[in-house]
Amino acid sequence: MTPTKGFRHEALLYAGMEQFVARTTPFIKGALDADEPILVVVSRPKIAALRTAMGKEADRVQFRDMAEVGANPARIIPAWHNFVEAHAGEGRRLRGIGEPIYPERTANEMVESQRHEALLNAAFDDARDFWLLCPYNTEALDPTVVETAHRTHPVIADGHGYSWSDRYPGVAASVAPYDKPLPEPAALRATLVFAVGGLPAVRRLVSREAASAGFMTRPIADLVLAANEVATNSVQHGGGSGTLRIWRDGGVLVCEVRDRGHFDDPLADRRRPAPTRDGGRGLWLANQLCDLVQLRSFASGTTIRLHMHRDRSR
């Protein structure tokens, strides 16, 4: 299959490290032979394996650790945007390899990583010439996760070549399944209805619950700031009020804000605010501060969940 112009979003199926290296190095070398910029965002062990396989040629490749770039999957699209923008106007095709789907993800992280894969189709739908390869380890991932790759990627590659996915529904439809409501928590720690003038109470409640959960000073401050930004959006753009709910999920503290607002843009939490723009920074800031942010928006209202791990070392 000859690469097409525009954005080519491709799932690469492999089983184990040996196949990963064997199936990604030709893609990387193809970029180097054509003098095409390439960014590879995978785990550190895979970066090491690729460097060993490629020798000195690896010095011409940009490598970044997915654990740093995409621990929160919402940060990955902005990283790819930075890469594309850095080479804008050069007239060359760009290539990337990104592996956001890996077995160590929690259940919530996996859902948001799959949402990220779907949103990539919208984020780069108008890209001039960008070929992005997304590896999936069929040996380690649940078969249902691999099956979802066929619905979020227009092109599927394996050891036998390339094929168009007959399960990919198009840009708009690939995003739609991730607008379903989030599951309800098993038990709540606190609930607060707030309106104009109620933001100090939001901050106090989040701080108190985070301290009670054993969080240190820095993550408490980050979570309080993120919750304040999201709650401020509710007051200013979500009907003037909202509901804060807080619960624990193992070592994770979750703060949820619900309001009557609605986001029309599926990439609302992935767009870096322009420096000259007033407002619109709340979601962006929350994603920079929190370990995971989940956004679901409907005609009836919006739900945003902020996840913070007690152990920030992960």
Please report, for the domain that includes residue 258, its CATH number. 3.30.565.10
How confident is the prediction along the chain (314 residues), in pLDDT tens digits per residue? 445 679 999 999 999 999 999 999 999 999 999 999 999 999 999 999 999 999 999 999 999 999 999 999 999 999 999 999 999 889 999 999 999 999 999 999 999 999 999 999 999 999 889 999 999 999 999 999 999 999 999 999 998 899 999 999 999 998 887 778 999 999 999 999 999 999 999 999 999 999 999 999 999 999 999 999 999 999 999 999 999 999 999 999 999 999 999 988 899 899 888 776 555 689 999 999 999 999 999 999 999 999 999 986 44
172 with 40, same domain: the answer is yes
Which residue in 191, 112, 194, 116 sits closest to 153, CA to CA? 116
Distance CA 247, CA 303 (A): 15
Helices 107-123 and 143-152: crossing angle in degrees, nearest 10, is: 20
Nearest to 48 by CA among 6, 19, 88, 17: 17
Which amino acid, residue 236?
A: Q
Instruction: Report, in angstroms and rounded to the nearest whole number, the Rg of the chain calculated over CA atoms.
Output: 20
Domain that holds residue 262: 190-309
Residues 174 and 29 in one domain: yes
Euclidean distance between CA atoms 134 and 23, whole angstroms: 11
Task: Tell me: do 55 and 200 sit in the same domain.
Answer: no
Strands (E), 82-168: 94-98, 129-137, 155-158, 161-164
Q: Quick one: which H or E segment has residue 139?
A: none
- Single-letter code of the amino acid located at 282: G
Pair 55, 164 in one domain? yes
Identify whether residues 92 and 51 lie together within a single domain.
yes
Looking at the domain assignment, is residue 184 inside a domain?
no
Domain tally, the chain? 2
Residues 145 and 53 in one domain: yes
Say if 34 falls within a structural domain: yes
Where residue 170 falls (left for φ over 0; alpha for ψ -120 to 50; beta otherwise) is: left
Q: Could you tell me the pTM of the whole model?
A: 0.94
Tell me whether residue 185 is in a domain: no
